[in-house]
Amino acid sequence: MLDGHQGKCHNLHGHTYRLIVEVSDLLQPQGSSKEMVMDFADIKTIINRHIISKLDHAYLYDETNNNERQIAALLKQMQRKVFAFPCRTTAEGISRFIFNQLIAYLPVSKITLWETPTSYCEYQNNKP
């Protein structure tokens, strides 16, 4: 939910997200990953561990919003899965969060997050 939004996303709802993580780096010069940036299996493991396992089927909420925090507190009491974001849970905010989480583990160059089959956003940190 986007508390305070003047549209239907003001209400509690869900999405069918699809996440694309783009990595970019030099190719490995030797070893079993020679001529790869990284093995896809390793990338998938990292994404599952640090993103998917935490967000999938959870109530995603903005920890700075009092109403959303109250709902999260109730859900926690009911032993439901919740996840607090440091921002509004827009596709843009979630994309930036995912990028910033994964950069410690992967050479992430871009995050593409599909909120629905027809709506997506991209986030990349354009460093000088």
| 68 counts as catalytic | no
Amino acid letter, 37: V
CA distance 124 to 112: 9
Amino acid letter, 56: D
Q: Which of 9, 87, 121, 122 is catalytic?
A: 9
DSSP, res 49: I
| 9 counts as catalytic | yes
| 5 counts as catalytic | no
Are 72 and 84 a contacting pair, CB within 8 Å? yes
Q: Has 13 been labeled as part of a binding site? A: yes
Q: Which of 5, 50, 115, 121 is catalytic?
A: 115
Q: Which of 5, 22, 57, 121 is catalytic?
A: 57
Q: Has 50 been labeled as part of a binding site? A: no
Are 85 and 51 a contacting pair, CB within 8 Å? no
Residues taking part in catalysis: 9, 57, 115
- Binding residues for Zn(2+) are 13, 15
- Binding residues are 13, 15
